[in-house]
Amino acid sequence: MKNLFEIIYGDNTVYYGNLQLDLWSASPHKKIKYVLYKLPSGDSLILSGYQEYYHMIEVTKDLNGTQRGILNFEYSYIMGKKLNIINIYKINLKNGLIEFKQTVENDKFIKGLNLNYWR
């Protein structure tokens, strides 16, 4: 299965995650050197120098019709936090378009995230 991201830690160990088995939540709590994120276009996005990182996948599920029960991977989010500023990259998994936004820790969207998944 193709890797979606690689986490490279300060001790140079590498952790891999993919779209079907995201596994971000299972990644070790160690100092991250950088995150290499594969984009749908084949390019890569590298995040480094952040105090903490966050990743999540937005999925929808068809409830009826011919696609009933099928999971649709819509968006992938990779975020980095420095002090109380958070950079958010929202990646459309269907067309590869990327939205970038900066926000702060007390933003409603950020406050709604599972705190255990910050690395």
Q: How many residues are listed for the chain in this entry? A: 119
Digit-coded pLDDT (tens) for 17-67: 876 666 788 888 999 999 998 888 888 999 999 999 999 989 898 888 888
Closest to 86 (Cα-Cα) out of 65, 99, 73, 102: 102
pLDDT at position 20: 64
The 10 Å Cβ neighbour count of residue 5 is: 24
pLDDT at position 18: 77
pLDDT at position 95: 86
pLDDT at position 1: 44
Dihedral angle, C-alpha 95, 58, 42, 78, nearest 10 °: 130
> By residue range, what is the domain housing residue 74?
3-117
What total number of domains does the chain contain? 1
**Tokens 């300060």 -> residue:** 10
Could you tell me which residues are beta bridge partners of residue 32? 9
Digit-coded pLDDT (tens) for 86-109: 999 999 988 889 999 999 998 999
pLDDT at position 104: 94
